[in-house]
Amino acid sequence: MIKSAVRATIADVARQAGVSKATVSRFLNHRDALLSLDIAKRVEAAINQLGYSPSPMAQALKRGRSRLIGLVVADITNPYSVAVLRGAEKACRAAGYLVMLFNLGNESERESAGIQALSSYQVEGFILNTMGHDAGAVVETARQGKPVVLVDRLHAGLDVDFVSLDNDQAIRVSAQHLQDAGYGELLLVTEPLGKVSSRIERSMAFQSFIRDGGPEVSGQCVESAGDGADLDAALLALRARAHDRRPALISSNAVVTLRLIAAVARLGWKLGSDVGLIGIDETEWAPYVGPGISTVSQPTDDLGRMAAECLIERLKGRDEAPRKILLPGALHIRGSSSITRR
């Protein structure tokens, strides 16, 4: 077989065989019964001589199927996004789909652009972990008949399948552990709430825990955009409020956890003794920083897998009320929330 240095096209095959492109197309689509034996042999010989292979994308689009899933994530630098992507990609690949990724970089104004960009590639459905600020583009996509599954963050007015960490459970597990470990003055640190449903849910769960916790525990919530001076001031205010109570921090995600570790270091404090710390999100580095960072891990692989499976079921025609799937977090206790007294 002689292969061309340049990828052969269906037009090249047609010229080589002395037939029309329509004839080659019939042969490729296994409709050679419509062709004479001589023409079929000429087309087959031309394909072998040129090393021609049809484009899987072109064939899929002719059948009305691209086998592509669009995945939009808020921030690919967040370990959560990477882990969810990994779980979704494995499930999609096992079902014969490919994933196309669009990263918003935490820029809410890019939500419509991301969805439109992926739509231009004829993706069959969407898995969305976005900022939740621009429901219009998502609603329009759903109206066009393309299934949508939301991960972690809800969109107001959009009633579709939703897969997420059980935020109430994760915060309550974190706060209860700190209270059991002897910490009595708590501070939840979160990125700016905005319209991000997961951040709002965690803040509300924390406030509910403090209301229900009795006189043994008190706490506040602070929003931080990452300014070091603001975090330092928040930690100093926490210790001033604590008096004879032991102060502790709850971080809303891994990005905030790193910022808090840096703030504690700047203040010259020791994790576990001067201040406790537990963070939502397990990371590869958590066991090795300081005395080890206590975390509540999200079942990210399962979240990604279940989001992909929900979407694929919809693509196969499953028609039922939208599902809301909440998965629990798992507590990992390390030295940053040690019960050792000063």
User: Is 128 a residue whose pLDDT tops 70?
Assistant: yes
Instruction: Note the pLDDT of residue 31.
Output: 59
CB 84 within 8 A of CB 129: yes
Q: Kindly list the structural domains of the chain, giving each domain's residue range(s) and its CATH number in brackets, ordered by start.
A: 10-54 (1.10.260.40), 68-165+300-327 (3.40.50.2300), 167-299+330-337 (3.40.50.2300)
Q: pLDDT for 264-306, tens place per residue? A: 999 999 999 899 999 999 999 999 999 999 999 999 999 999 9
Q: pLDDT for 240-254, tens place per residue? A: 999 889 999 999 999
Q: pLDDT for 181-224, tens place per residue? A: 999 999 999 999 888 889 999 999 999 999 987 778 899 999 99
CB 4 within 8 A of CB 50: yes
Candidates 282, 144, 299, 108; CA nearest to 128 is: 108
Candidates 239, 305, 249; CA nearest to 280 is: 249
Helix axes 197-212, 167-180, angle to 10 degrees: 40
The greatest distance separating any two alpha carbons of the chain, rounded to the nearest whole angstrom, comes to 95
Query: What percent of the chain has pLDDT above 70?
Result: 87
User: Is 166 a residue whose pLDDT tops 90?
Assistant: yes
Q: In one letter, which amino acid is 144?
A: Q
Q: pLDDT for 34-49, tens place per residue? A: 688 888 888 888 888 8
Instruction: Note the pLDDT of residue 82.
Output: 84
Instruction: Note the pLDDT of residue 162.
Output: 93
Q: How far is it, in rounded angstroms, from Cα 175 to Cα 182?
A: 11
- Both tokens of 283, joined, read 């990371």
Tell me the pLDDT of the chain averaged across its residues: 85
- Both tokens of 106, joined, read 């935490």
Q: In one letter, which amino acid is 129?
A: N
Q: How far is it, in rounded angstroms, from Cα 2 to Cα 224?
A: 63
Mean pLDDT, rounded, for 164-178:
96
> pLDDT band at 342, cuts 50/70/90?
very low
Mean pLDDT, rounded, for 310-326:
89
User: Is 5 a residue whose pLDDT tops 70?
Assistant: no
Higher-pLDDT residue of 123 and 305 is: 305
User: Is 59 a residue whose pLDDT tops 70?
Assistant: no
Instruction: Note the pLDDT of residue 1.
Output: 42
Q: In one letter, which amino acid is 52?
A: Y
Buried b (16+ CB within 10 A) or exposed e, 159-177: ebbbbbbbbbebbbbbbeb
Find the radius of gyration of the CA atoms of the chain: 27
Using DSSP, state whether 283 is helix, strand or coil. Answer: coil
Q: pLDDT for 103-114, tens place per residue? A: 877 666 677 777
- Identify the bridge partners of residue 70 per DSSP, sorted by sequence position: 100, 126
- Identify the bridge partners of residue 251 per DSSP, sorted by sequence position: 189, 279
Q: Is the pTM above the cut of 0.85?
A: no
